[in-house]
A and B are shown apart, each in its own frame.
Chain A
Amino acid sequence: MPVVNFVTTSGEILALAAENGRSIMEVAKANDLPMLAACGGALACATCHVIVDEDWYDRLDPPSEDEEDLLDTAHGLTPTSRLCCQIRVSDALDGIRVTLTPMD
């Protein structure tokens, strides 16, 4: 089962097993990580905003226009920011590292 590495806002790294097909947001919520994910993955908010490690960013499918529109409303954006409800776990992404953004 692939592993997703979550870096918390305090720098702690949590390596969590993740089933193929789940979104990274679902993995975060299932493991009770501090992430609001207000719209539940419906692409209607920007509260699952994570910063993907540079090494992994280009391996992801590019964001859709809808995701880009919502990223426009997120703060603290970086060149590798993504909405993690749009990233699906797969063997190819085993070991991916993402940094959580502040919940408030």
Chain B
Amino acid sequence: MSTQILSGTDVTEVTDVAIVGAGPVGLFAVFECGMLQLRCHVIDALPALGGQCVALYPEKPIYDIPAAPELTASELIARLQQQIAPFRPRFHLDQQVTELQRRDDAWELTTSRGTRIRARAVMVAAGVGAFGPNRPPLPGIEQYEGRCVHYLVAERERFRGQRLVIAGGGDSAVDWAIALADIAAEIHVIHRREQFRAAPETSARLHELAAKGKIQLVIPYQLAGLEGDGERLAAVVVKTLKGETRRIAADHLLAFFGLASKLGPINDWGLGAHNGVIPVDPSTGATSLPGVFAIGDIAGYPRKLKLILTGFAEAAHAAHAAHAVVHPDRALHFEHSTAAGVPIRES
């Protein structure tokens, strides 16, 4: 049963445990909590589950998950989703937790979308931080984002008749340059070297279009700056490693540099985060804030190993410790999954 507190037009979700991060460890924490009848809401900055697994290496094989000789990162996430499904966790995706505040005897989390979640226990399973587009460090770039600077293409029609600068050397940059070649007025592709990281056929197509003059390849250049009035872009400045610059008049910049992660707000929650690590008690995952635990890559203690399997074990420890926080007056009756199966709550 999902409880909500309604106050005017604001809705605060209420649950037992709020989990920050839907990577493999955050997901498995739902299982460990569920085995102790603790309900969970999970928040993640990405629009999909999987954390580093899907952001950095979805197709890469992983060999060190116990009992799984080989599986891809995305297969691991799919299996974890299956494992936690009986506990019906609630997910809040495509949003980042911005605030963590104490409210009476619980924690209240607020996200970048205004979602509010109240829980007596919090598990920070944030890995290496929230993933977002790898933003080129060009002064003033944020003011153009969403209007003239883009990290993905939602609607191709938007770029009809427009002058585009596409930056990046991988599949996304190459695929979109080809796909938009007939729609855009002009396309300049900026890359730092001759070789593109794309399938041979698509690379060939790109060079074919360049030979026909339908796109311009600007190599070996990197993004150096933006020119505009703060609302509309006028030009993109690019530079070689030797310092030669070119100014390319443009209406839109499409930057395809993959994903990057940032701890951001977590650094401000009083958890003692240092160089991306929150110090915890290794036996419980407890941080310096009562009821707040850290598990997975973000949790630190002497001789910590940053392995997924370590995070799985940390999730189990934290769930047991969280039980006492969520139900201080209730005994923890633990049964191995082999004895009683997976406890599913009605409603």
Decide: A69 near B170, CB < 8 A? Known: A38-B128, A104-B262.
yes
Does B343 interact with chain A (Cβ within 8 Å)? no
Whether B134 contacts A73 by the Cβ 8 Å rule is yes
Does A77 interact with chain B (Cβ within 8 Å)? yes
Interface residues of A in 44-75 (CB under 8 A from B): 44-45, 47, 68-69, 71-73, 75
| Smallest CB separation, B266 vs chain A (Å) | 13
Contacts of A40 on B, CB cut-off 8 Å? Answer: 297, 306
Please report the total number of A residues contacting B with Cβ < 8 Å. 23
Contacts of A78 on B, CB cut-off 8 Å? Answer: 241
Whether B170 contacts A36 by the Cβ 8 Å rule is no
| Smallest CB separation, A82 vs chain B (Å) | 14
Contacts of B193 on A, CB cut-off 8 Å? Answer: 68, 72
Contacts of A79 on B, CB cut-off 8 Å? Answer: 241
Decide: A39 near B192, CB < 8 A? Known: A32-B275, A79-B241.
no
Q: Provide the B59-96 mask, 1 if CB < 8 A to any CB of A, else 0.
A: 01000000000000000000000000000000000000
Interface residues of B in 100-129 (CB under 8 A from A): 128-129
Whether B52 contacts A38 by the Cβ 8 Å rule is yes
Q: How large is the interface on B (under 10, 10 to 19, 20 to 34, 35 or more residues)?
A: 20 to 34
| Smallest CB separation, A83 vs chain B (Å) | 14
Whether A73 contacts B258 by the Cβ 8 Å rule is yes
Contacts of B276 on A, CB cut-off 8 Å? Answer: 36
| Smallest CB separation, B322 vs chain A (Å) | 27
Decide: A38 near B56, CB < 8 A? Known: A75-B137, A77-B192.
yes
Which residue of chain A lies nearest to B222 when distances are taken between CB atoms in the complex?
A77
| Smallest CB separation, A75 vs chain B (Å) | 5
Whether B136 contacts A75 by the Cβ 8 Å rule is yes
Which residue of chain A lies nearest to B62 when distances are taken between CB atoms in the complex?
A42
Could you tell me the distance between the alpha carbons of A32 and B274 in the complex, rounded to whole angstroms? 9
Whether A39 contacts B56 by the Cβ 8 Å rule is yes
Does A2 interact with chain B (Cβ within 8 Å)? no
Decide: A39 near B222, CB < 8 A? Known: A34-B275, A69-B170, A73-B134.
no
Could you tell me the distance between the alpha carbons of A68 and B191 in the complex, rounded to whole angstroms? 12
| Smallest CB separation, B24 vs chain A (Å) | 14
Q: Provide the B206-228 mask, 1 if CB < 8 A to any CB of A, else 0.
A: 00000000000000001100000
Whether B56 contacts A44 by the Cβ 8 Å rule is yes
Does A76 interact with chain B (Cβ within 8 Å)? yes
Most B CB contacts (10 A, CB to CB) among A32, A71, A72 go to A72
Does B261 interact with chain A (Cβ within 8 Å)? yes
Most A CB contacts (10 A, CB to CB) among B260, B274, B306 go to B260
Contacts of A68 on B, CB cut-off 8 Å? Answer: 193, 195
Could you tell me the distance between the alpha carbons of A35 and B274 in the complex, rounded to whole angstroms? 11
Could you tell me the distance between the alpha carbons of A76 and B137 in the complex, rounded to whole angstroms? 8
Could you tell me the distance between the alpha carbons of A72 and B60 in the complex, rounded to whole angstroms? 19
| Smallest CB separation, A61 vs chain B (Å) | 18
7 smallest CB-CB distances across A and B, nearest first, come from A72-B169, A44-B56, A38-B128, A69-B197, A73-B257, A44-B57, A73-B258
Which residues of A come within 8 Å of B, CB atoms?
A: 32, 34-36, 38-40, 42, 44-45, 47, 68-69, 71-73, 75-79, 102, 104
Which residues of B come within 8 Å of A, CB atoms?
A: 52, 56-57, 60, 128-129, 134, 136-137, 168-170, 191-193, 195, 197, 222-223, 241, 257-258, 260-262, 274-276, 297, 306
Complex A-B: 28 CB contacts under 8 Å: A32-B274, A32-B275, A34-B275, A35-B275, A36-B128, A36-B261, A36-B276, A38-B56, A40-B297, A42-B56, A44-B57, A44-B60, A47-B261, A69-B197, A72-B168, A72-B169, A72-B191, A72-B192, A72-B257, A73-B170, A75-B136, A75-B257, A77-B192, A77-B222, A77-B241, A78-B241, A102-B137, A104-B262
